[in-house]
Amino acid sequence: YLSGQMMLGLFLFNVTPMYSNYSAGKYKSGGLKNSTYEHALYFPWPFNASTDFRGYVVSNILHWLLSYSCSSWFCVVDFFLSLMVFHIWGHFKILLHDLNHFPRPSNKISFMIEDSCVTITYEMYSRNELDQVFHRLNKCIDYHREIVSFTDKMSEVFGPMLLAYYGFHQASGCLLLLECSQMTVAALVRYLPLTIILFQQLIQMSIIFELVGSVSDKLKDAVYGLPWEAMDTKNRRIVAFFLMNVQEPVHVKALGLADVGVTSMSAILKTSVSYFAFLRSL
């Protein structure tokens, strides 16, 4: 879906200057006169691409290839990061399932207080069950440690790229809004689809990354919900240690500076709109 939108936006981005050249009659013999060909991208080529038709055709083909290559790279990176984030999210869901379905004591003793209708139920793990609880708790802690370690490695590897990714959206967002502010048909056809796609790409990616923080934030309630009151002192200490480690939600960080998620996305959108308003006032 995202790739289809990106391809449509780039098609309009590259076709608009071609249509402008066609409508101005620049493709006809002698149609240029004192003007030059309009391009989607402007690069200093070692040949004449402004007034020579052959040079224009070659540069136009290169512009199509460059624009589609760059946009495809962004889409592939987004898909790869989304796959890794869903991978982390799935492991957190498995850990939550294991904690929420933690076995309770099989022995349950109930007795009623004399001269009252109050029934007290007493649960306590047996010695064999306490050994199983010990191994289950250690397994959950090791599983959580592996997930956090993988998330930290992901932040370390992709942190600089995510920071550059956010910087790209910061700069391109305000510039595309500035181009759309011309409110002409040519500007809207050329820049509005790209603006919508880039903002949607930013919002979609940030929401996907926010899934990791939201699901990891549920761990503290799941750990506290364990039947620790039915355990012995050793296992209670393990639960307390586990509870201490899951207090802070897990986030992928951009170069270790900012959490990648909805908060950073909203800051970028606000800054883009503010900078766009500043450029409009100049």
Does pLDDT of 83 surpass 80?
A: yes
Per-residue confidence (pLDDT) for residue 2, from 0 to 100:
67
Per-residue confidence (pLDDT) for residue 111, from 0 to 100:
66
Per-residue confidence (pLDDT) for residue 127, from 0 to 100:
87
Q: What share of the chain is helix, strand, coil (3-state, %, to 5)?
A: 70, 5, 25
Query: Does 24 reside within a domain?
Result: no
Query: Does 235 reside within a domain?
Result: yes
Q: Which domain holds residue 262?
A: 74-281
Residue 105 makes CB contacts below 8 A (sequence gap 6+) with: 123, 124, 125, 126, 129, 227, 230
User: Cα dist. 120→103, 105, 114, 116, 247 in Å?
Assistant: 21, 16, 11, 11, 32
Angle, nearest 10°, between helix axes 233-245 and 127-180? 0
Query: Does 27 reside within a domain?
Result: no
Q: In which element (H, E) is residue 111 found? A: strand 108-112
> Rounded to whole angstroms, how far apart are CA atoms 240 and 259?
27
Per-residue confidence (pLDDT) for residue 18, from 0 to 100:
86
Confidence (pTM): 0.76
What mean pLDDT comes out for the span 260-271?
85
> Rounded to whole angstroms, how far apart are CA atoms 82 and 197?
17
SS3 149: helix
Query: Does 182 reside within a domain?
Result: yes
Comparing 95 with 260, the larger pLDDT belongs to 95
Query: pLDDT by residue (tens digit) across 96-113?
Result: 999 999 988 887 776 666
Query: Does 123 reside within a domain?
Result: yes
Query: pLDDT by residue (tens digit) across 19-72?
Result: 888 887 887 877 677 778 888 888 888 888 888 888 888 988 998 888 888 878
Query: Does 65 reside within a domain?
Result: no
Query: Does 156 reside within a domain?
Result: yes
Query: Does 92 reside within a domain?
Result: yes
Per-residue confidence (pLDDT) for residue 44, from 0 to 100:
85
Does pLDDT of 123 surpass 80?
A: no
Per-residue confidence (pLDDT) for residue 115, from 0 to 100:
67
> Rounded to whole angstroms, how far apart are CA atoms 153 and 88?
12
Per-residue confidence (pLDDT) for residue 255, from 0 to 100:
77
- The percent of residues above 70 in pLDDT, for the chain, comes to 96
- Is 68 in contact with 10 (CB distance < 8 Å)? yes
**Least confident residue range of 63-72, 218-227, 273-282:** 273-282
Comparing 176 with 149, the larger pLDDT belongs to 149
**Least confident residue range of 40-44, 117-121, 185-189:** 117-121
> Rounded to whole angstroms, how far apart are CA atoms 129 and 235?
11
What mean pLDDT comes out for the span 167-172?
83
Instruction: Give the chain's domain count.
Output: 1
Per-residue confidence (pLDDT) for residue 70, from 0 to 100:
81
